[in-house]
Amino acid sequence: MTGFLALLSSLIWWVLFGSIGAVLPSLIAWIVLRWSEGAPVVFNRTYLACLIWSLLTLLIGAMAAAHAGITRPPLGPLLASGAFRVALVLSMLIGVAALWRLIPRVDARRIRIGSACVAVGVVMAVVFGIATTLIST
């Protein structure tokens, strides 16, 4: 019973942190997609796509950290590990696929895959800049 409760608690925290972590990327992606598409896009679908992307990124990042053996601070060496770089590339591919497949424009057409790539690139640049700043302090 204790193991079940620990697993349930871990899943609740995973979803909670994933949903908190999806707010800023969804705002950035929504702004970039509005600019890139030249037409309004649906924000709640942008948040859903970023939530799925965030949840999978947390899972992939945790697996990469466990593989590299870096699960406690300082996390600086994790950014230089090969497993984490592969996890970042996989995360970006998942992000592009989630944004492209889940976000419609208001005219009910899907966004372009190039727009999804630009949005993921901008989100990753901002988030990686924030992460490296926080780790270096």
Residues 40-67 pLDDT 10s: 898 999 999 999 999 999 999 889 888 8
Q: Write out pLDDT tens, residues 101-117.
A: 999 888 878 899 999 99
First-to-last C-alpha distance (Å) of the chain? 41
pLDDT band (50, 70, 90) for residue 137: low
- What crossing angle do the helices spanning 2-21 and 43-68 adopt, rounded to 10°? 120
Q: Give pLDDT tens digits for 74-87.
A: 777 777 888 889 99
Element (H, E) at 63: helix 43-68
pLDDT for res 4: 92
- In percent, how much of the chain has pLDDT > 90? 58
Sequence-distant contacts of 17-23: CB under 8 A, at least 24 apart? 17/58, 18/51, 18/54, 18/55, 18/58, 19/51, 19/54, 21/54, 21/58, 22/47, 22/50, 22/51, 22/53, 22/54, 23/47
Please name which of 61, 68, 64 lies closest in space to residue 128, comparing C-alpha atoms: 61
